[in-house]
Amino acid sequence: MAAQPLPPFNRQPELPGEAWPEFRLADWKDTYATLHMWTQIVGKIRLALTPLTNHWWNVPLYVSSRGLTTSIIPYGNRSFEIEFDFQNHELAIRTTDPNAASIPLVPRSVADFYAELMAALRVLEIDVPIWTMPVEVPNPIPFDEDTVHASYDPDYARRFWRILLSVDEIFKVFRSRFVGKSSPVHFFWGSFDLAVSRFSGRRAPERHETDPVLRRIMQEAYSHEVVSAGWWPGGGTLEEAAFYCYAAPTPAGFEEQTVHPRQAHYDSSLGEYLLMYDDVRRAESPKTALLAFLQSTYEAGATTAGWDRSALERVSDSTEQH
């Protein structure tokens, strides 16, 4: 099936130097590791106090005008929000009453950050025990015992947020072109990536992981057919930041499709299409390059899996306001 016509998206001139900063994994790997643990602590607070939503959509954080936020969390007859502010470099805790607190984001251990955050919440009369073991990382150290990770580079933290801000905008444009079920654009603190997912509407096969806890997690996450795309700062075998797209379950022929731009490729070890962040940053139009990747990799998954694309995709309307 041919791709549907897509509406224009580019309302403002692009500012590639500011919106797409240089970003080297080696230059911020220690800050990355520390910030990963800090976001897990905050994310687990949200997880503990919100009802389960399909595919764990009650778990993630969201890009904000300052950094990353939990959004509103209910607590009795009050509510509160926790936000990583990468402009002023502080963790802000705001409640729906006049009380608030903040914690400086500076080089400090995960254990110290955890202790001060929990103390600040208690002062605000918010008591929320969490499981202190990190997830989705090798050799996890409980938050209250982690004195290993203690780095914070404010320049790189701000670059990280600025990339998320640019990507969040484009992911939301991509999301708007789909009328079927799709996820919010959200930041998963477990895998430390910004993601958006589209669903066919059909249930997926049961999962068979041997670990019962992992099986429950994966079954909820992948209960229905999905094509998911995201941005990840890198790690492991992926030495730099990259955009990715995968289909679950993976349909036959998915890896053989033609995708765009030309730098995009299929990584058989990860089972995903990849486009390196630098290829987008250096493109004449990063927005155009990234949207081409998102659209073509989605089409690779939806077409090979036999999705009813005519029912799921938005057709350009000449009366649409641009």
Please report, in tens digits, the pLDDT of each residue of the chain (322 residues total). 444 444 444 545 544 468 999 999 999 999 999 999 999 999 999 999 999 999 999 999 999 999 999 999 999 999 999 999 999 999 999 999 999 999 999 999 999 999 999 999 999 999 999 999 999 999 999 999 999 999 999 999 999 999 999 999 999 999 999 999 999 999 999 999 999 999 999 999 988 888 887 788 888 898 999 999 999 999 999 999 999 999 999 999 999 999 999 999 999 999 999 999 999 999 999 999 999 999 999 999 999 999 999 999 987 643 343 3
Pairing mode, strands 73-75 and 78-85: antiparallel
Q: Which of 82, 111, 145 is the last residue of a domain?
A: 145
* Helix residue ranges, H only, 50-152: 110-123
Residue 13 covered by a domain: no
**Residue labelled with tokens 């009369």:** 125
**Residue labelled with tokens 């895998």:** 191
Q: Are residues 53 and 162 in the same domain?
A: no
Q: Are residues 59 and 134 in the same domain?
A: yes
Residue 138 sits in which domain range? Answer: 25-145
Number of structural domains (the chain) is 2
Q: Count CB neighbours of 145 within 10 A.
A: 13
Q: Are residues 118 and 168 in the same domain?
A: no
Residue 35 covered by a domain: yes
Considering the entire predicted model, what is its pTM?
0.91
**pLDDT of res. 211:** 81
**pLDDT of res. 150:** 98
Q: CA–CA separation, 82 vs 94, rounded Å?
A: 7
Q: Are residues 86 and 201 in the same domain?
A: no
Return the bridge partners of 229, or none. 196, 245
Q: CA–CA separation, 113 vs 41, rounded Å?
A: 9
**pLDDT of res. 309:** 96
Residue 320 covered by a domain: no
Q: Are residues 255 and 179 in the same domain?
A: yes
Residue 266 covered by a domain: yes
Q: Are residues 175 and 301 in the same domain?
A: yes
Read off φ and ψ for residue 24, nearest 5 degrees. -110, 125
Q: Are residues 127 and 40 in the same domain?
A: yes
Angle of helix 154-176 relative to helix 25-49, nearest 10 degrees, comes to: 60
Q: Are residues 235 and 303 in the same domain?
A: yes
Residue 217 covered by a domain: yes
Q: Are residues 80 and 207 in the same domain?
A: no
What is the token pair recorded at 304? 């090979």
